Amino acid sequence: GENVEQHPSTLSVQEGDSAVIKCTYSDSASNYFPWYKQELGKGPQLIIDIRSNVGEKKDQRIAVTLNKTAKHFSLHITETQPEDSAVYFCAAKNSGYSTLTFGKGTMLLVSP
Amino acid sequence: DGGITQSPKYLFRKEGQNVTLSCEQNLNHDAMYWYRQDPGQGLRLIYYSQIVNDFQKGDIAEGYSVSREKKESFPLTVTSAQKNPTAFYLCASRAGTSVADTQYFGPGTRLTVL
């Protein structure tokens, strides 16, 4: 089955800096890659997603890039703010199924 | 959290007791999912259902059971056979069409077994 590796497990940045979280996946047939933000004690919220026919997608300060050849995708957050502090999860859709495999998460801490 | 509700937010049970977690959605979504979240483990799939009266095991189904009698409801029972039931449980739903892959999550239920 699909395996998703996520790095780093923790990331500390200063307010205004950029943050990058990277994920790799194993199944070359995977075609959908969402990113979720989870605040403490709450359910994950979708922040951006990308399909395999697109190399990059942006939404204001957030962007995701996908390299199908290398089987990795990354989340980029620019001009970080303290409210960006949370746990971020990447995921990949399992080919042939309606399920997702999740990375183990990255705790992002943005210091004022 | 959209139109997905989970109740209660916190649940305490004694060891050896079965407990049922509620998940309801008003999004008219076909597919529903249950995940377990432990510190440092990410989200692991317990069960999922793509249509009413049908469901499939996920990666960690042992010690759990589900039912899908109504489109809007997908309750999860944590049985006494689950050896480490204390965890944060998340329910999700998905529209179900071939291009609608996005899963939307509820607020979660934190289960503590004493």
Q: What is the model's pLDDT at position A22?
A: 98
Does the distance separating the beta carbons of B48 and A98 come in below 8 Å? yes
Q: Which amino acid is at B101?
A: D
Q: Which of A64-78, B40-54, B65-79 shows the lowest per-residue confidence on average (mean pLDDT)?
A: B40-54
CA distance A101 to chain B (A): 8
Q: What is the model's pLDDT at position A95?
A: 82
Report the chain A residue with the minimal C-alpha distance to residue B37. A104
- pLDDT classification of A96: cutoffs 50, 70, 90: confident
Q: Which of A90-99, B48-57, B65-74 shows the lowest per-residue confidence on average (mean pLDDT)?
A: A90-99
Q: A10 — contact with chain B (CB < 8 Å)?
A: no
pLDDT, mean of residues A22-32: 94
Q: What is the model's pLDDT at position B108?
A: 97
Q: B48 — contact with chain A (CB < 8 Å)?
A: yes
Q: What is the model's pLDDT at position B99?
A: 58
- pLDDT classification of A18: cutoffs 50, 70, 90: very high
Residue A70 in this model has a pLDDT that exceeds 90:
yes
Residue B2 in this model has a pLDDT that exceeds 60:
no
pLDDT, mean of residues A14-38: 96
Question: Rounded to the nearest 5 degrees, what angle is found at the Cα of B60, between the Cα atoms of A96 and A86?
Answer: 85
Question: Counting beta carbons within 10 angstroms of the beta carbon of residue B78, is it exposed (0 to 12), middle (13 to 18) or buried (19 or more)?
Answer: buried
Taking only the tens place, the pLDDT of each residue in B13-24 is 999 899 999 999
Helix, strand, coil share of chain B (percent; to 5): 0, 55, 45
Share of chain A above pLDDT 90, in %: 89
CA A63 remoteness from chain centre: 9
Count CB neighbours of B14 within 10 A: 8
Chain A residues whose beta carbon lies within 8 Å of the beta carbon of residue B94: 98
Q: Which of A6, A42, A103 sits opposite B107 (nearest CB)?
A: A42
Share of chain B above pLDDT 90, in %: 82
Q: What is the model's pLDDT at position A50?
A: 94
What are the residues whose beta carbons fall under 8 Å from the beta carbon of A69, sequence distance 6 or more? Answer: none
Residue B98 in this model has a pLDDT that exceeds 70:
no
Q: A60 — contact with chain B (CB < 8 Å)?
A: no
Does the distance separating the beta carbons of B105 and A34 come in below 8 Å? no
Residue A76 in this model has a pLDDT that exceeds 80:
yes
Taking only the tens place, the pLDDT of each residue in B82-97 is 989 999 999 999 987 6
CA distance A87 to chain B (A): 10
What are the residues whose beta carbons fall under 8 Å from the beta carbon of A21, sequence distance 6 or more? Answer: A6, A7, A8, A11, A74, A75, A88, A90, A106, A108
Paired tokens of B98: 């071939």
Q: A44 — contact with chain B (CB < 8 Å)?
A: yes
CA distance A19 to B44: 26
| Phi-psi label, residue A96: left if phi above 0, alpha if psi -120 to 50, beta otherwise | left
CA distance A46 to chain B (A): 7
Chain B residues whose beta carbon lies within 8 Å of the beta carbon of residue A44: 43, 90, 105
CA distance B9 to chain A (A): 9
Share of chain A above pLDDT 70, in %: 100
